[in-house]
Structure 1
Amino acid sequence: MILVGGEALVDLVPGPGTRPGELGPLRPLPGGGPYNVAITVGRLGTPVRFLSRLSTDAFGDSLLARLTLSGVDVSLVQRGPEPTTLAIAGIGPDGSARYSFYVQGTADREVDHPGVLPPDVAILSLGTLSLVLEPGASRYERLLREHTGLTVVDPNIRPVLIGDPDAYRRRFTSWLPDIGLLKLSVEDAAWLADGDPDQAVRSWLAHGPVAVVLTRGADGITVRTAAGAEVTVPTPAAAVVDTIGAGDTVHGALLSWLHNAGIGTPDALHAVGADEWRKALHFAARAAAVTVSRAGAEPPYAAELDVQP
């Protein structure tokens, strides 16, 4: 079983026909990095639970219903009267997204520590705003340090919400011994490194993670391992509507692949060779290509892919 912990929110995305820089209708779409990851895993038919706190408002009801429809176990989802976090997305000419956030007093950041995790949880996945916004960030961090199976983290940096970048970078570095797989974009790696991301990846691998997966947009996906392997796969051709949820889809597809390959510990991840990594990355890239072809974070179902995990 995979456990994904973190925020669920609503993306307010420009409606069809809205030109870059133009004010127009906004469409509310479900989102949040960890939420998108859980939806991806569920739609790919892999057992997954979601840990978060959802509002009892209409947005929270919709977010919960979509989890269930996507095959996600919601037994660890908490509810509360606080409002749902909102993210205002601006879409560039190339489909890339930038965000502003409404996070004050919202439900997801008030999540309670769940206590002892169910014994069937092998893989724990964390990331994005939930590792930044207190008090929830400290509660998720505690889970990261307690989990004895495979922990996967995508920091999914949102600089506008990080008041002290140097303090966050130190906190991130403190997580490395407890992370088995680190997944992030090359832009996030550059921000975290405050310099050369390639040099940073080598340093990170020396301090804990078994592997680091870098998404590079149109330049593909790369994995580097502590054992010295490096594999890159290309980005499949796709008619890009927007890139919302693309990295989250890669993350979720990798989780699905790992689960179905029986990899649930750092030791098992150490044994994954270059050929198997290539299969995993191709699967993740194919899934993300479907997501970018649709508005908002709409990961594919297993039946939509011509490659199975």
Structure 2
Amino acid sequence: MILVGGEALVDLVPAPGTVPGELGPLLPLPGGGPYNVAITAGRLGAPVRFLSRLSTDSFGDALLRRLELSGVDTAMVQRGPEPTTLAVAGIAADGSARYSFHVEGTADREVEHPGRLPDEIKIVSLGTLSLLLEPGASRYERLLREHTGLTVLDPNIRPAMVTDATAYRARFASWLPDIGLLKLSIEDAEWLAGDTGGDAGRAVADWLGRGPAAVVLTRGGDGLVVCTADGTEVEVPTVPTAVVDTIGAGDTVHGALLHWLHENGTTTAEGLRAVGADAWRAALTFAARAASVTVSRAGAEPPYAAELALRS
């Protein structure tokens, strides 16, 4: 089984037809990087469990219900009276999104450490705000260091939320020995490489030498690339589609890769090191197809397995 840990929140997205630069209605849509990852994996048919703390407010109820409808096991979801985190999204002409976050005193950052994980959990996936906002960040970090199976990380940097970039980069580097698969956007790679001139390629090579078996980069319209510790590099293009917005695209890639890892029986870092170029090409192609569905509709709305089958 796969365990995805991290925040669930509500994205407030401008309604269709809103004129750029003017205020308009905001539509509440479920989101949060780890939440989207879990939804993706569940809809694609992977056995996945979600770890977070959801509010008992109406947003929290809706977030929980959507997990259940998407096939996600919610046995480790905690509930509390704190409000749901809100992310106000602005959508650019190319569909890209920028966010402002409302996180003070919210439920997801108060998550408790779950204790010893059940033996059936072989893959743990973490990332985004949950590894930044205390006190939950330290609890997720403890889980990251304790897990002995395959750990997958997407830092999903929100620069506006980082108060000390140098300290955060150092903390990120300290996680690398415990990470099997690092998945991130090219923009995040460049930001994390900021202390060394923003050279993503050089940074990836350095990270691979510190622990991860592989690094997957999402590059927007330029597709996906994986670089492995043994020097393999595989690229695949994006799947052409009409883009509504890019909310959840990277999370869909992440969730699709988790599904592929489970289907492929790859549940350890050692197993990941044995994955060859052809298998990586299949994995990235599958992830790119899934992401093409998500960007074709508003908000983070990953596909179900049956939808991908119809598009193949």
Please, what is the CA RMSD of the aligned residues? 1.1
The equivalent residue for 1:54 is 54
Q: Tell me the distance in 1 between the aligned counterparts of 2:23 and 2:275.
A: 48
Scaled by the length of structure 2, the TM-score of the pair is 0.98
The equivalent residue for 1:117 is 117
Q: Render the CA deviation track for 1:196-237: whole Å, top value 9, x for unaligned.
A: 011000000000000000000000000000010000000010
Query: Is the counterpart of residue 265 in structure 1 residue 268 in structure 2?
Result: yes
Q: Tell me the distance in 2 between the aligned counterparts of 1:45 and 1:83.
A: 31
The equivalent residue for 1:24 is 24
Q: Render the CA deviation track for 1:118-170: whole Å, top value 9, x for unaligned.
A: 11000000000000000000000000000000000000000111100000000
The equivalent residue for 1:5 is 5
Q: Of residues 253, 257, 265 in structure 1, which corresponds to 2:256?
A: 253
Q: Tell me the distance in 1 between the aligned counterparts of 2:79 and 2:273.
A: 38
Query: Is the counterpart of residue 283 in structure 1 residue 286 in structure 2?
Result: yes
Query: Is the counterpart of residue 182 in structure 1 residue 182 in structure 2?
Result: yes
Q: Give the 3-state SS of the residue equivalent to 2:215 in structure 1.
A: strand
The equivalent residue for 1:63 is 63
Q: Of residues 207, 227, 231 in structure 2, which corresponds to 1:228?
A: 231
CA contact 1:302–1:308 (8 Å) conserved in 2 = no
The one-letter amino acid of 1:258's match is L
Q: Give the 3-state SS of the residue equivalent to 2:134 in structure 1.
A: coil
Q: 1:308: Cα distance to partner?
A: 10
Which residues of 2 match residues 126-145 of structure 1 at below 5 A? Answer: 126-145=126-145
Q: How many residues align?
A: 309
Q: Tell me the distance in 2 between the aligned counterparts of 1:307 and 1:5.
A: 30
Q: Give the 3-state SS of the residue equivalent to 2:309 in structure 1.
A: coil
The equivalent residue for 2:298 is 295
The one-letter amino acid of 1:109's match is R
Query: Is the counterpart of residue 89 in structure 1 residue 93 in structure 2?
Result: no
The percentage of counterpart residues that share the same residue type is 77
**Structure 1 stretch displaced more, 288-297 or 16-25:** 16-25
The one-letter amino acid of 1:99's match is Y
Q: Tell me the distance in 2 between the aligned counterparts of 1:306 and 1:158.
A: 34
The equivalent residue for 1:36 is 36
Q: Tell me the distance in 2 between the aligned counterparts of 1:308 and 1:302.
A: 10
Query: Is the counterpart of residue 207 in structure 1 residue 210 in structure 2?
Result: yes
The one-letter amino acid of 2:291's match is A
Q: Render the CA deviation track for 1:245-265: whole Å, top value 9, x for unaligned.
A: 000000000000000000000
Q: Tell me the distance in 1 between the aligned counterparts of 2:21 and 2:92.
A: 8
The equivalent residue for 1:151 is 151
Q: Tell me the distance in 2 between the aligned counterparts of 1:201 and 1:308.
A: 33
Q: Tell me the distance in 1 between the aligned counterparts of 2:262 and 2:21.
A: 42
The equivalent residue for 1:108 is 108
- Cα distance change, pair 265–308 in 1 and its aligned pair in 2 (3 A): farther
CA contact 1:283–1:307 (8 Å) conserved in 2 = no
Runs of 4 or more consecutive aligned structure 1 residues displaced over 3 Å after TM superposition: 306-309
Q: Tell me the distance in 2 between the aligned counterparts of 1:307 and 1:220.
A: 22
Q: 1:60: Cα distance to partner?
A: 0.2
Q: Tell me the distance in 2 between the aligned counterparts of 1:292 and 1:282.
A: 16
Q: Tell me the distance in 1 between the aligned counterparts of 2:21 and 2:152.
A: 36
**Structure 1 stretch displaced more, 16-25 or 74-83:** 16-25
Q: Tell me the distance in 1 between the aligned counterparts of 2:206 and 2:23.
A: 44
CA contact 1:49–1:74 (8 Å) conserved in 2 = yes
Q: Tell me the distance in 2 between the aligned counterparts of 1:37 and 1:181.
A: 15
Structure 1: stretches of 5+ with no match in the other structure: none
Q: 1:22: Cα distance to partner?
A: 2.0
Q: Give the 3-state SS of the residue equivalent to 2:291 in structure 1.
A: helix
Q: Give the 3-state SS of the residue equivalent to 1:10 in structure 2.
A: strand
- Cα distance change, pair 7–264 in 1 and its aligned pair in 2 (3 A): same
Q: 1:306: Cα distance to partner?
A: 3.3
Q: Give the 3-state SS of the residue equivalent to 1:305 in structure 2.
A: helix
The one-letter amino acid of 2:43's match is R
- Cα distance change, pair 94–106 in 1 and its aligned pair in 2 (3 A): same
Q: Give the 3-state SS of the residue equivalent to 1:244 in structure 2.
A: coil
